[in-house]
A and B are shown apart, each in its own frame.
Chain A
Amino acid sequence: MILLYDDSFYGLLTCIFEHYYVERIQEIYGKTVFQGSLIDETRFVVTDEEKAQRVERAIREKLSYEGYIALYRTFLSNDYHKDCYILKYLKHAFKLGKKIDQYYSEPFVINIRKLNRKVGFEAHRFLGLIRFEQRGPFLYAKIEPDHDILPLIADHFSDRLQEEQVIIHDIKRKKAVLANEGRWIIQEVSSEDDKGIFAEYPIDQQEELLQKMWKGYFEHIAIEGRYNPKCQQNFVPKKYQKNLLEFK
């Protein structure tokens, strides 16, 4: 049996609940990404907050808070099989308990570890690889990360820029973090770039000068004798460069 859910984390946890209390399941997929064949037996599971919270509590008690976070991060990845990996991991984890993470060479641990690392790494990368523009009263940035990292980076920026009105726009997933005074929310945004929202706030002179300064600084800080573009590209892959001011 394959379960489908509404792409929310609690939806996934509800599916896990179904596995233990309703029927054995083999696979889980988000309903928007699922590519099944006709012979697959599928069922859509309606998210149930109460059931999900029971699973959440179980994970946090039987594993650890860190283990719970690792699963959440895995859930944020764009891997097609992420939900199946989480299911498999939890089947073992509820038997083995906290010890599970010491099984470094078992595939059910390795898969989670890998995705957790990938998502965590990208989130960390984006703490640096975001460039804000002053647009009227807002600091606006657009990003196109591989994984859905907005919930992982929001805390950092909302704490750092408490006195600002910050917008971080994930144009791939059409949603944005809005942060102000140390609080933040994630909201759906219909437009794919800054044109729609910011037509009334063009880039002003001071902003232009600062952008020029940063580009100038970026050029001058490199040592010509150590020129090494390949090394540079390893750290800043091409896919991130299009949204970075200094690489445009």
Chain B
Amino acid sequence: MLSEATMEKLTVLADAAKYDVSCSSSGVGRKNTGGIGNSASCGICHSWSADGRCISLLKILMTNVCAYDCAYCVNRVSNDVKRASFTPEEIAQLTIEFYRRNYIEGLFLSSAVEISPNNTMERIVKVLQLLRRQYHFGGYIHVKAIPGADPLLIKEAGYLADRMSVNIELATEDSLKLLAPQKSIEKLYLPMQEIKEGINHAKEEQGIYRHAPSFVPAGQSTQMIVGATVDTDQSILFRSENLYNHFNLKRVYYSAYMPVNEGAKLPSLQTEPPLLREHRLYQADWLLRFYHFSADELLSVQQPNLDMDVDPKMMWALRHLEQFPIEINKASYQELLRIPGIGVTSARRIMAQRRVQMITYDALKKMGVVLKRARFFLTCQGRYYGDAVMNEEHIRRQVAPPQQHHQVSLYELGAIS
């Protein structure tokens, strides 16, 4: 039976877990196998909290008692915060009770490293075993792979969980040394490598035996903090591309740095989280995954940061005006994807309609193309619909958000005169 004491722990450990960004419950379609719960491959959001982020999984830490002292983390050992630990049984019960009432889609279990990586990972595996074998829970489970834990434990977890993740948090070795001296990139890559091998191995076996068990079927993900160090967008995006290519990651999450700790090596507590920069990085990430872009097309040593005024695809297009305008009725799918304002959906629709009917400019709007951006970069039946001049300055003025005006105060006026 759950009690008030569990309630107390829940608030502490939810508070401690909320800086983890990942919330998705997608990637696995599974029917109920005679217990409670199934899983929808599209993922299901159950609510949205006051910060506008979706709540899909019950996101909690096993414990926030931590041995590490990472400068950016709210749970670091040198912080004076309320500490609490769940027992595996408590977590399992809480998950089932929340799940039955349709509050959540499953469990997201992370943890601070309390005694040793092995000890922590063991307790995570315990929760997995309880939920899957005792409660016959078929819902979604996302757990952390604790760097430094025994490969056998990670393997055991992988066969029971749907998604696993290791947060690398910082994009470069230098930043890690500065803020999390007890961690290193190699140590973080190790569990990722193990998970990747596990996935490949299980896929091979499933090719031979139809009922071979799947391993982390929804893939692995990671997250990086944006704005805690001097890392440029270039180093972050190159790191992501590297992770996608080498570890077959499903997602890389970006989290705008929220100053929760004071420290000489950290931005001051008054720093606003760089939400726009985070947004631009997500847009660039989408270009990598769905639009056939590569990181070095977007960013270089000369231009290491994304444009804050326009989205990354527009930024790229403005730098490559020589490749435009593109004729909608002739372009290949890949070329269509390069036009700002045309996404995967509208590109597919254009390809489909072209088979039966010529596409007119009016039709583009009805298909969901964002003409505000797209009209500068395309021709439709040979006609250009942008303005008389096609240069960067002009297009930028049309698509960038207007400058924010503010009322001038008397003091500022004084400074001018």
Q: How far is the CB of A6 from chain B (nearest CB, A)?
A: 33
Of B36-44, B302-310, B372-380, the segment with at least 4 beta carbons within 8 Å of chain A is B36-44
User: Which segment of A44-52, A131-139, A187-195 sits at the interface?
Assistant: A131-139
Question: Chain A 213-224 against B: per-residue CB contact (8 Å), 1 yes, 0 no?
Answer: 110111111111
Asked if A58 is at the interface of the complex by the 8 Å CB criterion, the answer is no
A229 to B49, CA, bound (A): 8
B162 within 8 A of A: no
Cβ contact within 8 Å between B356 and A221: no
Verify if B410 is at the interface (C-beta below 8 Å from A): no
Contacts of B258 in A (CB 8 A): 223, 225-226
A110-B366, A162-B36 known; A128-B44 Cβ under 8 A:
yes
A228 at the interface (CB under 8 A from B): yes
Q: How far is the CA of A223 from the CA of B356 in the complex (A)?
A: 50
Q: How far is the CA of A230 from the CA of B51 in the complex (A)?
A: 9
Q: Is B402's CB within 8 Å of the partner chain A? A: no
Q: B359: which A residues are within 8 A, CB to CB?
A: 105
Tell which of A110, A133, A222 touches B49, judged by Cβ atoms closer than 8 Å: A222
The A-contacting residues of B in range 324-347, CB under 8 angstroms, are none
Query: A21 at the A/B interface (Cβ < 8 Å)?
Result: no
User: Are A206 and B45 in touch, CB under 8 angstroms?
Assistant: no
Q: Which of B7-15, B227-235, B284-292 contacts A (4 or more CB under 8 A)?
A: B7-15
Q: In the complex, which residues 1-32 of chain B have their Cβ closer than 8 Å to any Cβ of chain A?
A: 1-4, 6-7, 10-11, 14-15, 17-19, 31-32
Q: Write the chain A residue with the least CB distance to B103.
A: A214
Which residues of chain B are near A235, meaning CB under 8 Å?
Answer: 45, 48, 52, 54
- B-side contacts of A159, CB under 8 Å: 31-32, 38
Q: Is the CB of B52 within 8 A of A105?
A: no
Whether the Cβ atoms of A228 and B352 lie closer than 8 Å is no
Residue A129 is within 8 A (CB to CB) of chain B in the complex: yes
Smallest distance from the beta carbon of B49 to chain A beta carbons, Å? Answer: 4
Q: Is the CB of A122 closer than 8 A to any CB of chain B?
A: no
Looking at the assembled complex, report how far the CB atom of B194 sits from the nearest CB atom of chain A, in whole angstroms. 30
- Measured between beta carbons, the chain A residues less than 8 angstroms from B353 are 102-105
- Chain A residues near B19 (CB-CB < 8 A): 223
* Also in contact, A236 and B47, with CB within 8 A (given A216-B11, A223-B18): yes
Partner of B366 from A105, A160, A222 at Cβ < 8 Å = A105
Flag whether A7 is at the interface (Cβ < 8 A): no
Q: Give the docked Cα–Cα distance between A182 and B47 (Å).
A: 26
Assuming the A-B contacts A103-B357, A124-B44, A130-B102, are A229 and B97 also in contact, with contact meaning beta carbons closer than 8 angstroms in the complex? no
A229 with B50: CB separation less than 8 A: yes
Asked if B386 is at the interface (CB within 8 A of a chain A CB), the reply is: no
Counting CB contacts under 8 A, is B273 at the interface?
A: yes
Is B105 located at the chain interface by the 8 A CB criterion? Answer: yes
Quote the shortest CB–CB distance from A138 to chain B (angstroms). Answer: 12
State in angstroms the CA–CA spacing of A115 and B356 once bound together: 23
Measured CB to CB, the closest approach of chain A to B117, in angstroms, equals 26
Q: B362 near A: Cβ within 8 Å?
A: yes
Q: Is A244 at the interface (CB under 8 A from chain B)?
A: yes
* Residue B349, interface by CB 8 Å: yes
Q: Which residues of A contact B124 (CB under 8 A)?
A: none
Considering the chains assembled together, what is the distance between the CA atoms of A128 and B352 in angstroms?
Answer: 33
With A102-B353, A104-B352, A222-B18 already in contact, the answer to whether A132 and B54 are too (CB < 8 A) is no
B2 touches A223 (CB 8 A): no
Nearest B residue to A125 by beta-carbon distance?
B45
- How many CB-defined contacts (below 8 Å) exist between A and B? 161
Query: Judging by beta carbons under 8 Å apart, are B101 and A214 in contact?
Result: yes
Closest chain A residue to B14 by CB distance?
A220
Complex CA gap A236/B47 in Å reads 7
**Min C-beta distance of A213 to chain B, whole Å:** 5
Answer yes or no: B249 CB below 8 A from chain A CBs: no
B207 at interface by CB-CB < 8 Å: no
| Chain A CB within 8 A of B185 CB | no
Does A161 belong to the interface (CB within 8 Å)? yes
Q: Provide the bound-state CA to CA distance between A139 and B103, in Å.
A: 13
User: Is there contact, CB below 8 Å, between B52 and A160?
Assistant: no
Cβ 8 A contact of B356, one of A99, A206, A236 = A99
A163 and B103 contact, Cβ closer than 8 Å, known pairs A156-B40, A216-B10, A220-B18? no
Docked complex Cα distance between A234 and B4 (Å):
33
Judge whether A131 and B51 touch: CB under 8 Å.
no
Given contacts A212-B7, A221-B18, A235-B48, contact A161 B100 (CB under 8 A): yes
- Closest residue on chain B to residue A132 by CB atoms: B101
CA distance A182 to B138 in the complex (A): 15
Complex interface bits, B227-256 against A, C-beta within 8 A gives 1, otherwise 0:
000000000000000000000000000001
Asked if B59 is at the interface (CB within 8 A of a chain A CB), the reply is: yes
A223–B47 CB distance below 8 A: no
A16 to B11, CA, bound (A): 57
B362 touches A105 (CB 8 A): yes
Q: Does A231 contact B (CB under 8 A)?
A: yes
A244, B55: Cα distance in complex, Å: 13
A244-B221 Cα distance, complex, nearest whole Å: 31
B34 contacts the other chain (Cβ, under 8 Å)? yes
From A213, which residue of chain B is reached at the shortest CB distance? Answer: B7
Partner of B51, one of A127, A213, A227: A227
Distance A123 CA – B98 CA, assembled complex (angstroms): 21
Cβ of A199 within 8 Å of any chain B Cβ, yes or no, is: no
Q: Quick one: which of A101, A103, A162, A216 contacts B7, CB cutoff 8 A?
A: A216
A-B contact pairs, 6 of them (CB 8 A): A128-B44, A134-B100, A213-B7, A213-B10, A214-B98, A218-B55
Give the interface of B toward A (CB within 8 A): 1-4, 6-7, 10-11, 14-15, 17-19, 31-32, 34-38, 40, 42, 44-56, 58-59, 94, 97-98, 100-103, 105, 256, 258, 273, 275, 349, 352-353, 355-357, 359-360, 362-363, 366-367
Closest 6 CB pairs of A and B: A231-B52, A105-B363, A222-B49, A128-B46, A226-B51, A228-B52
